[in-house]
Each structure stands twice: as C-alpha cells, then as structure tokens.
Amino acid sequence: MKSINVGLLGIGTVGGGTYTVLTRNQEEIARRAGRPIAITRVADRNLELARQVTGGNVAVTDDAFAVVADPDIDIVVELIGGYTVARELVLKAIENGKHVVTANKALIALHGNEIFAAAQKKGVIVAFEAAVAGGIPIIKAVREGLAANRIEWIAGIINGTTNFILSEMREKGLAFADVLKEAQRLGYAEADPTFDVEGIDAAHKLMILAAIGFGIPVQFDKAYVEGITKLDAVDIRYAEELGYRVKLLGITKRTDKGVELRVHPTLIPEKRLIANVNGAMNAVLVKGDAVGPTLYYGAGAGAEPTASAVVADLVDVTRTHTTDVHQRVPHLAFQPDQLVDLPILPISEVSSGYYLRMRALDKPGVLADVTRILGDREISIDAMIQKEPQEGEEQADIIILTHVTVEKNMDDAIAAIEALPAISGKVTRLRMEELSR
Ligand SMILES: NC(=O)c1ccc[n+]([C@@H]2O[C@H](COP(=O)([O-])OP(=O)(O)OC[C@H]3O[C@@H](n4cnc5c(N)ncnc54)[C@H](O)[C@@H]3O)[C@@H](O)[C@H]2O)c1
Ligand SMILES: N[C@@H](CCO)C(=O)O
Ligand code: NA
C-alpha cells in the first residue's frame, strides 16, 4: 500500500521525538492509520543535527521551502517554532495542497484565523494537538469528545516550564534562575524562555482552548497575561498556611457580559486535584453543562510526550484526508461560518476571589480601616491572618482572602487601602479560584 510521505521541518526537541516515535512504532501506527506513515524528507538549518538524528536514513536539507514545494510530500510537519518563517512555510504548504501538522501554539494563537481560512479554501487539514498541553489529547477531547456540551469554562496548568519552576522552588527551595536553566536543559522551555515565565506561552494555548470551547476566532491581543516573575516566595508560603497552592493558571469563562481570558498566578484550594499537579506535568479542567467538570492530566512538554500528539495528528490526517472537507472536524470545533463575536472582557470586568498582602503599622484601628474599605465596597472577607512584627520591626504583614468581586471594585479598594497612612508600600494582589462549580 502507498505510504503517506511526511516532510519534517525542524528536528530539534519535538522534531527529534517525532522521528523517534514514528520510527519505533512504525508497524503499529500503520495498523492504526490504514497505511504506513514515513518521514521521507527532513529540513533543519542544523544539517549536522538532522543527519545525526536520522542516522543517514532520510534525505536532509537546510531549505525548509524545498520540502514544502516537493510534490512527493503529502503532510508537512512544522516543528521550527516562531511565527515568521513558520507562518510563511505553513501558508506555502497549504497553497501547495499539503496537510499540515504543527506544535506551534504561538503561530495558531496569532495567525490561526488566516491559516484555517486558507486551509478550508484548499481543502486541507491543519492539525495542532501538540500545540496545547503537549501529549494530553485536549484538543480532541474538547473539539470532539465534549461536542454535546455548552462549554462553561476551561482552566488549566498549561505551561510545563513554569509549573516545573514553581514546584521545584516550593519543594526544594531552589532559586528561580537555576530551575529555569534545568527546564531549558530538559527541553521544556521555549526558544525565548520569557514566553514561558511571563505567561505568554500559556496565553497562546488558552486562546486556542477558548476558540474551540466557545466557537470564537483567535484574538490573542485581548488576553490578560501575567507571568510568575513578580511572584514573591513569601506569598506562596502564606497561601500554603491558608490551605492554598499557587499555580500559573490559564482561565477562560463564558459569562453574560463576554468571555474571560486570563493567565496569572492563582491560588487554588490545596484539596483540588489540579493543585497537586507538579513538575512539568499539565492538567486542564473543562466544565461542560452536561458532563460537569472533567480533568485531563499528563506530560505537557518534552520530546516524546509532545511527539505523541504530533504522531496522533499524523494518524488522524492520514485517516481523514480522503473525507469531503465539509464532513471533517472543523479546525476550531465550530463550522467556520458559525464562529461568533463574543466580546473578550478586559481584566477590570473579570470576577475573582482575591488574596491581599499588605504591610501595616502594628497599631490599633488599622485592621478596622482595612475591613471598612472592603465592606464599603461589598467585598466580603473569607479569611485573614495578622502576623506578629519581626524582632525590631514596627510593621507586620496582614493577609486577607476575599470572596468573589469584580476586579475594578478590587482596584478601587486597593487604592484606598494603599492611601491609609498606616499601610506602607503596595498591596500584593493574587487572584483565587475555587474551581468547584
Ligand atoms: N519543547 C517542547 O516541549 C514543546 C512542546 C510543545 C510544543 N512545542 C513547540 O514545538 C516547536 C518546536 O519546539 P522545540 O522545543 O522542538 O524547538 P527546538 O529549538 O528544539 O527545535 C527547533 C528546530 O528547528 C530548527 N530551525 C529553526 N529555524 C529553522 C529554519 N528557518 N529552517 C529550518 N530549521 C530551522 C532548529 O535548528 C531546531 O533544530 C515550537 O513551536 C514549540 O513551541 C515544544
Ligand atoms: N514551553 C512549553 C512547551 C510545551 O508547550 C512549556 O513549558 O509548557
Ligand atoms: Na495536546
């Protein structure tokens, strides 16, 4: 039987893993796909690496555009990353009538609308399971498995690097920079690790999840993005005292006013399963109206876990590419002419519980002033700790957990608290999610 010929662009961490998995499980994959799938050409600007990984068994080139133009190639796998050359290559592949598999969440989050429109026009498939939560089949779960549901919200630990950093810092007391270096060595981090630590990578993935969950076009510029670089170890400790873990969470919710789309460090009750997801592991909670909350857990980064998703997409594309375009699973889960323009809410309109930490002079009345400011704005307090001042100091930390309120109301309360003479410096604010309903 004629094999499906794959052109692999980029044979780094994920590309290398893809080559290994496809070669190792060749026979079983053919039995699943209905025909053999073979990588017949590889492009990488590092020719030495390409030769080394393929052991001289495949034609290698440093010109990715030559692979995309090759009439013998059926599916192009883009594992270069970034959104400049990768965008051009993917659009060129589509133009040449090739199906595309990619792990590139940045590309999909920024240019998905353009790419899917081009693919629809040409009748080709663009598959991107590896782009969100690595090896966890979350795209398939939301797009197909939960197709009966009205998706209400999705919340996930969707960046392995930051979860690895937070876990190592908490468990082993290691320094941020050392843990980041280790994540880079293990192949978890992006080419530019600021994408990981500033929450951008998680926001790329969240944008994709919101699009397939709610049937909206990708619009990455509307996401609220806050990473872990400003997170203070003391807040992780206080949160623990109060029974919470701090995770970098991507949250998207459908509300009456619009869609919440936000990535930020978040307090989660420690009894939730997702609060106990550690290391480079990812977990995504999806709440559907019929099914209730569902949880998906697994390796979110790394060579073979990510390759697992890339190769599954290759099998999917191989199985479905004979199907009529209109009968296929739509790229963003909803038919292309059925996407809706729900507004994405600015962060000021988002509702959440809050963790507040402030430094206050240890004198009577301060606490009363703070609680009055919150009370005047109908923000109710869930828990509070007042620390004893350290030896020789006059100020002490006050930590307050609040019930849900809208962010702009909290902005106003924080401004009033910071204006109190007995409060010094800024109030630290972290958002909190119960993730129970
Ligand atoms: N590493 C992970 O765990 C992981 C997980 C999921 C998704 N991803 C995504 O997968 C993609 C690849 O990531 P990676 O970690 O494998 O990166 P990588 O840096 O390890 O590999 C990229 C490869 O592409 C090659 N390359 C770069 N520019 C090229 C060009 N113009 N022409 C030809 N080759 C070129 C590089 O030489 C390198 O070998 C990215 O989009 C990334 O976001 C990575
Ligand atoms: N840099 C990403 C790779 C997986 O997408 C992460 O750490 O999760
Ligand atoms: Na995935």
Residues 281 and 162 in one domain: yes
pLDDT for residue 1 is more than 80: no
Tokens representing 361 are: 């002079």
Residues 320 and 286 in one domain: no
Q: Can you list the positions of beta strands (E) in 54-144?
A: 59-61, 75-78, 99-102, 126-127
Domain with residue 18: its CATH number is 3.40.50.720
Tell me whether residue 13 is annotated as binding: yes
Q: Kind of pairing, strands 126-127 and 259-269? A: unpaired
Residues 158 and 276 in one domain: yes
Give per-residue pLDDT as tens, 21-33: 999 999 999 999 9
Ligand 3 centre distance from Cα of residue 74 (Å)? 23
Q: Is residue 347 part of a domain?
A: no
Residues 79 and 98 in one domain: yes
To test the pocket of ligand 2, the residue of 108, 136, 161, 228 to mutate (highest count of ligand atoms within 8 Å of its CB) is 161
Residues 182 and 88 in one domain: no
Q: Is residue 273 part of a domain?
A: yes
Other CB atoms within 10 Å distance of the CB of residue 426: 12
Provide the residues around ligand 3 (an ion) whose CB is within 5 A: 129, 132-133, 136, 138, 309
Percent of the chain with pLDDT over 70: 100
Residues 97 and 153 in one domain: no
Q: Domain count for the chain, please give it.
A: 3
Residues 18 and 146 in one domain: no
Ligand 1 in reach of 184 Cβ (< 6 A) = no
Computed over every residue of the chain, the mean pLDDT equals 96
Res. 378 pLDDT band, cuts 50 70 90: very high
Q: Is residue 281 part of a domain?
A: yes
For 68, the domain range is 4-136+304-338
pTM of the model: 0.96
Crossing angle (nearest 10°) for helices 366-376 and 407-418: 150
Tell me whether residue 190 is annotated as binding: yes
**How high is the pLDDT of residue 322?**
81
Q: Is residue 343 part of a domain?
A: no
Residues 171 and 143 in one domain: yes
CA 121, 310, 43, 67 torsion: positive or negative? negative
Please choose, from the candidates 95, 89, 86, the residue with its C-alpha nearest in 3D space to the C-alpha of residue 119. Answer: 95
CA 210 to chain centre: 11
Q: What is the DSSP string of 251-291?
A: EEEE-SS-EEEEEEEEEEETTSGGGG--TTEEEEEEEETTT
Residues 271 and 167 in one domain: yes
Tokens representing 422 are: 């007995």
Query: Strand, coil or helix: what is 343?
Result: coil
pLDDT for residue 176 is more than 90: no
Query: Cα dist. 214→7, 257, 291, 303, 437 in Å?
Result: 33, 14, 16, 30, 18
Question: How long a stretch of residues is the chain?
Answer: 437
Give per-residue pLDDT as tens, 400-413: 999 999 999 999 99
Residues 255 and 282 in one domain: yes
**How high is the pLDDT of residue 349?**
98
Ligand 2 centre distance from Cα of residue 385 (Å)? 36
Ligand 3 centre distance from Cα of residue 340 (Å)? 24
**How high is the pLDDT of residue 437?**
81
Residues 118 and 25 in one domain: yes
Give per-residue pLDDT as tens, 278-333: 999 999 999 999 999 999 999 999 999 999 999 999 999 999 888 888 899 999 99
Q: Quick one: DSSP state of residue 143?
A: I
Residues 132 and 83 in one domain: yes
Q: Is residue 166 part of a domain?
A: yes
Tokens representing 198 are: 């500033």
Give per-residue pLDDT as tens, 147-159: 999 999 999 999 9
